[in-house]
Amino acid sequence: MTPAPVSRDAAAPIVRELSALRAQLAGWKRAGQTVGVVPTMGALHDGHLSLVRAAKADCDRVIVTIFVNPKQFNSPEDLANYPRTEVEDARKLGPLAVDAVYVPGGDQIYPDGFCTTVSVAGMTDVLCGAHRPGHFDGVATVVTKLFTQTQADRAYFGQKDYQQLQVVTRLARDLDLGVTVVGCPTIREEDGLAMSSRNLLLSDRARVWAPELHRAMEEMAEGLLAGGDAGVLRRAAEARLLRTGFTDIEYFDLRACADLALMSRADRPARLLAAAWLAGVRLIDNIAVG
């Protein structure tokens, strides 16, 4: 009998138990296949899908993980409001033919009595780390678990969370986890807004204003390349954002790519990084300067 054709609309296969994931991994590892992982918290958008495509291009097997990690949220409201769209996520992943979507319950990641924290010193004290105490400990802890649970050879992260990418790269090296961390370009909407699961929380009005963050960053980058001072340009950018409707600019910094040190002029490889609140939603973005 001819097998039924696989529907392009079929949802990707979901695995919820670590034991089931391990059983699959054992077969793949026995066959000498490479495993790529794309860690996510769901509410998948084209940015995530671009990470999956990069993983598919490099690896024999690809696992997407979906876990809304309570340890990286600073407030119970933020955790409760985080968008959860599992059925839609599995449907979006179907056409990409990933090998497994690992959606662990909390007990699979943090079993009873769990009391280990992975903490990356130094680079987590600034930017998002300064405004979200404990956030990067939560990220580092869950990412370490996801790397070891999936036994991944390669892991794919977006450059949109630039500081997170640095933290994860550092911990993989420091702990000899045997996984290569791959940073992939930020994917943007047509109006420049960086794709983010949190964009789903923006009201229609706020969605119209949101791309101003990226525009202000582009303008500041131009000013820096023309030899401008970061402090002066930052004040102009912040004023522009406040006029648009942003309420709180947490940071709008020029920082060295190598170690995230604060810079006043773009005289070595640098990134402009920003976090700002718009109508109750925290947006972050970053761009290369020069």
Instruction: Summarize as ranges the residues that interact with ligand PAF (CB under 6 A).
Output: 39-41, 69, 72, 139, 142-143, 161, 164
Taking the least distance from each CB to ligand PAF, the nearer of 166 and 289 is 166
Whether the CB-CB separation of 64 and 12 falls below 8 Å is answered with yes
Enumerate the active-site residues: 48
Taking the least distance from each CB to ligand PAF, the nearer of 47 and 211 is 47
Taking the least distance from each CB to ligand PAF, the nearer of 12 and 230 is 12
Q: Which two tokens stand for residue 76?
A: 């119970």
Biggest alpha carbon–alpha carbon distance for the chain = 72
Please report how close the Cβ of residue 63 comes to ligand PAF at its closest, in angstroms: 13
Taking the least distance from each CB to ligand PAF, the nearer of 41 and 172 is 41
Please report how close the Cβ of residue 31 comes to ligand PAF at its closest, in angstroms: 27
Within 8 A by CB and 6+ apart from 122, the residues are none
Q: What is the SS3 assignment for 245?
A: coil
Within 8 A by CB and 6+ apart from 23, the residues are none
Question: Does the annotation flag 44 for ligand binding?
Answer: yes
Question: Does the annotation flag 187 for ligand binding?
Answer: yes
d(Cα 46, Cα 185) in Å, to the nearest integer? Answer: 12
Question: Does the annotation flag 36 for ligand binding?
Answer: no
Question: Does the annotation flag 42 for ligand binding?
Answer: yes
Question: Does the annotation flag 43 for ligand binding?
Answer: yes
d(Cα 283, Cα 289) in Å, to the nearest integer? Answer: 20
Please report how close the Cβ of residue 267 comes to ligand PAF at its closest, in angstroms: 31
For the chain, strand residue ranges (E) read: 14-15, 35-40, 61-66, 100-102, 154-158, 180-184, 246-256, 270-278, 281-289
Please report how close the Cβ of residue 165 comes to ligand PAF at its closest, in angstroms: 9
Pick out the residues of the known binding site.
41-48, 72, 158-161, 164, 187, 195-198
